[in-house]
Amino acid sequence: MLPGAFQRLHASPDGALWLITDQSVARLVDDAWALYLTDFAGELAGIDASERIWIVSEDSSEISARDGASWTVYGADEGWLPIPLNDERYRDVGWGQSGGSGRFWLATSQDVRLFDGDRWTVFAPEDMGMGEVNDEAQWAAFVLRVSKSTADVWVGECNWGPPGPFGGQGVRWFDGQTWHGADSPVASGCATVIEEDGLGRVWMAVDETLWRYDPTYGNWIPFTPPKPPVAWTRFGFAHAIALDPSDNPWPAMVLCGASCYGKIVLYHIHDGIWSQIGEAREYYGVLPPHQLVTVASGQLWLFWEEGVYRIAGNLAEPVTNLYVKSVTVDAAGQVWLVARDEGQDVLWVVNTATEQ
């Protein structure tokens, strides 16, 4: 592993694989890792389709792009604005996503931002047709998803405080010129997850309900969870959604009582029926998203924080108890993961052709 605290694995659109810590960035080249960037200051915000590494300065007044040989700095003159602190203490920049024509999108704790190849555009909540943050909330969080089929950009917002979500401004989407969604079924509520399946349908979690939107027909279908499996709890929100090869969702739902930090449970939805996978497990707000991978035999494997599981019907059979921190699949179909082993982070590769 590289120096520094591990942050993520990243597979870029061209098939390159990146390993990222808070001190360095490496790229897999010809089956060997090559250092791409070391000793940077600020917060790494993403790697775009042109393999530029984007880093936000510590005070958020600038964002810089590293193209492998030189830096380009963007500030107020190029449309970039400092990110205000939420509750005078909290500032966040999510991992960016590439769109078409050299575009690169970021979601921050205050807004959504677009780089169009020359300069940045900042979309505040009012620009997207959203209202103000709930007065009782301490901060807001935005999530985004760039559609691969339509190039639309989907944005969700949730208001948060120490016990959990305080509602939110729901979901909006941008077609390149106009923001839509203020009159949709998901126009309000705490939106935490947005994913796109292989048919171009958009899945989103708003409060405790999952919604599926089909852009071909313009229809919305809700999926409401069953009774919570733990007494005296309710479903608060979805932590993450994984989609299997059949485009069925596997949401990880957080259970709330007086607080939304305690339990989380995984489900599989097929033909509208929710089936619980395993037991409810501990949840304290920080948990890597789960991922599903089909190996050579057609077997579905689940990678999550407590280990790797083989899915058989609605049962999760343990393969290994590695503490999985991050998972990605490269262009060759190999599964790469960083997992905790004997007190340190270790990089592992699973060859799905042999399931080893």
Cα 185 to chain centroid distance, Å, stands at 22
* 297 band by pLDDT with thresholds 50, 70 and 90: low
Q: Is 46 a member of any domain?
A: yes
Q: Is 53 a member of any domain?
A: yes
Give the strands of the sheet with 315-320, arranged side by side: 291-294, 300-304, 307-312, 315-320
Mean pLDDT of the chain: 89
Q: Is 199 a member of any domain?
A: yes
**Model confidence pLDDT, tens digit, residues 219-261:** 999 999 999 999 999 999 999 999 998 999 999 999 999 888 8
Containing structural domain, residue 278:
37-289
Q: Is 112 a member of any domain?
A: yes
Spatial separation of the C-alpha atoms in residues 104 and 292, rounded to whole Å:
26
- Measuring CA to CA, how many Å separate 212 from each of 171, 186, 228? 12, 10, 21
Q: Is 202 a member of any domain?
A: yes
Q: Is 313 a member of any domain?
A: no
Identify the CATH number of the domain in which residue 52 sits: 2.130.10.10
Say what the pLDDT of residue 142 is: 93
Say what the pLDDT of residue 314 is: 80
Q: Is 2 a member of any domain?
A: no
Q: Is 20 a member of any domain?
A: no
Query: How many folded domains does the chain comprise?
Result: 1
pLDDT at 134 over 80: no
pTM score, whole prediction: 0.92
Give the strands of the sheet with 6-11, arranged side by side: 6-11, 17-21, 24-29, 32-38
